[in-house]
Amino acid sequence: MDSALASDTSYLRESVRTAVKILIVGHFAVGKTTYVGTLSEIRPLRTEERMTQAGATVDDLAGIKDKTTTTVAMDFGRLTLSDDLVLYLFGAPGQQRFTRLWDDLARGALGALILVDTARLKESFAVMDIVEKQGLPYAVAVNRFEGAPVFPDAEVREALDLAPDTPLVTCDARDRRSSTEALISLVDHLLTLGKTS
């Protein structure tokens, strides 16, 4: 999926004074690459590789149809919010064998948006543990998948053991407006915590 280009240039405006690093994380095949591509104003950097038979013993494809590629390092996109503020979006790979990369990706990040799938909520626990160990504030976005069960927010909060002040929203990683609203929930949370000053 190509990015939604909002700019004719790949260079930053001279007026940009603040750059904020945000992680987009989640378990395997939850939509991180799609999410970064949907919001990025530049063609996103992707480190996708074709899945091979060699990965069949480590990548659980149960409940995931038509998955043929996977991120092996990161996704990267950029979103300019104003004349002087830009967000850098770093999508982390979801498989456990790549979590060592998260230490580097988390360095300098202000917060994380955790994407989850209601059909595979238990796979989110390891991701949330890593984000919490990094000390990053986060928001959770339930990525809507066709045919996935729909639960009330209170049940999702309880299943994920979210703190009362942790934002929980629903989004469609393919939709720019929906993805933007999920990102806004994280930025509002960071502002509340005083992390953006």
What do you get for the CA distance between the two ends of the chain, in Å?
A: 34
On whether the CB atoms of residues 94 and 29 are closer than 8 A, the answer is yes
| Cross-strand partners of 75 | 46, 91
CA–CA gap between residue 140 and residue 132 (Å, rounded): 13
Structure-token match 């991701």, residue found: 127
- CB atoms under 10 Å from CB of 118, counted, come to 18
Q: What's the pLDDT score for residue 84?
A: 85
Instruction: Strands of 41-197 (E only): list them.
Output: 45-50, 69-82, 85-91, 111-116, 138-143, 168-171
On whether the CB atoms of residues 65 and 147 are closer than 8 A, the answer is no
Q: What's the pLDDT score for residue 70?
A: 53
Measure the CA angle with vertex 39, ends 82 and 109; round to 5°.
70
- CB atoms under 10 Å from CB of 14, counted, come to 7
Instruction: Return the closest-CA partner of residue 37 out of 82, 6, 13.
Output: 6
On whether the CB atoms of residues 69 and 51 are closer than 8 A, the answer is yes
CA 36 to chain centroid, in Å, comes to 7
Structure-token match 């929906």, residue found: 178
Q: What's the pLDDT score for residue 94?
A: 73
pTM for the predicted model, two decimal places:
0.81
Q: What's the pLDDT score for residue 197?
A: 56
CA–CA gap between residue 105 and residue 107 (Å, rounded): 6
pLDDT tens for the chain, 197 residues long, are 333 444 445 577 777 878 899 999 998 889 999 999 999 998 887 666 564 555 555 555 555 566 555 554 579 899 988 888 889 999 998 766 667 777 888 899 999 999 999 999 999 999 999 999 999 999 999 999 888 899 999 999 999 999 999 999 999 999 999 999 999 999 999 989 987 65
In the three-class reduction of DSSP (H, G, I as helix; E, B as strand; rest coil), residue 46 is classed as strand
Q: What's the pLDDT score for residue 83?
A: 86
Q: What's the pLDDT score for residue 1?
A: 37
Q: What's the pLDDT score for residue 28?
A: 86
On whether the CB atoms of residues 62 and 29 are closer than 8 A, the answer is no
Q: What's the pLDDT score for residue 4?
A: 40
Q: What's the pLDDT score for residue 156?
A: 97
Q: What's the pLDDT score for residue 111?
A: 97
In the three-class reduction of DSSP (H, G, I as helix; E, B as strand; rest coil), residue 183 is classed as helix
Q: What's the pLDDT score for residue 104?
A: 86
